[in-house]
Amino acid sequence: MTSPFEHASESVADGVRSLTVNAQVALYASAAQALMPAYRAWSRRAESPFHGDVLARAIEQAISFATGEAPTIEASLLRAVEASTPGDPSGSESFTAAQDCWILADTALRVGLGEFDAADSAWYLLEPKFQATSERLVGVSDPGSVAQEDAEAHALADPQLSNAIGALRDVIGTLRERLPTRDLVATISSQLVALSP
């Protein structure tokens, strides 16, 4: 049986599956761009090296591919992203959002390279907001430690989380109808800031 959070994530995954490869890459790159300030804040608080140049290059290359400006994605850039994805200190505030920012950029590159099913990363689009909302409402970031289904259902009814999920669905709907362009990517990146904790 799936939990309410898992059900919401699976619904988003279904939407992701309905997109073209270029639209999927645009979605994940835009979401990574929207979470980049959370990564920057975590890096500063955790006194962890900031690899913003690698992340920015990954996002830029994914956007160039998604918009048809670049025919391919460099596999070497994917390796640089893998090497730079934060792993510690994992207990620091905003770690999940920081790591998910990188996972989303990684997903954008892998999908563009034809190495990954984009729907498999749908959870990471929502995880930072899931955790932040659970923390705010029930005092723990993982509601599995309390009455999970009730806690998650309560969190999903919260306006901040429901607005974030609505923004994500709107973006998926837009990408289903329109080809990715620079202007569109800028618009959806600003909409996806709602996913940030």
Res 89: pLDDT = 67
Sequence-separated (6 or more) residues with CB below 8 Å from residue 23: 66, 175, 176, 179, 180
Domain 4-195, CATH: 1.20.1590.10
Q: How many CB atoms lie within 10 A of CB 115?
A: 12
Sequence-separated (6 or more) residues with CB below 8 Å from residue 54: 77, 80, 81, 84
Res 146: pLDDT = 46
Phi, psi of 93 (to 5 degrees): -55, 140
The answer to whether the CB of 85 falls within 8 A of the CB of 103 is yes
Hey, where are the domains in the chain? 4-195
pLDDT in tens, 93-127: 789 999 999 999 999 999 999 999 999 999 999 99
Q: Which tokens go with 25?
A: 């890459």
Res 142: pLDDT = 60
Cα(133)–Cα(66) distance, integer angstroms: 31
What region does 93 belong to: left with phi over 0, alpha with psi -120 to 50, or beta?
Answer: beta
Res 90: pLDDT = 72
Res 145: pLDDT = 46
Across 9-28, average pLDDT: 98
Residue found under tokens 């898992």: 6
pTM above 0.75, yes or no: yes
Q: State the pLDDT confidence band at 47, using cuts at 50, 70 and 90.
A: confident
Q: What is the mean pLDDT of the chain?
A: 92
Res 13 pLDDT > 70: yes
The answer to whether the CB of 138 falls within 8 A of the CB of 151 is yes
The answer to whether the CB of 50 falls within 8 A of the CB of 106 is no
pLDDT in tens, 128-185: 999 999 888 876 666 444 457 788 888 899 999 999 999 999 999 999 999 999 999 9
The answer to whether the CB of 107 falls within 8 A of the CB of 124 is yes
Cα(126)–Cα(19) distance, integer angstroms: 18
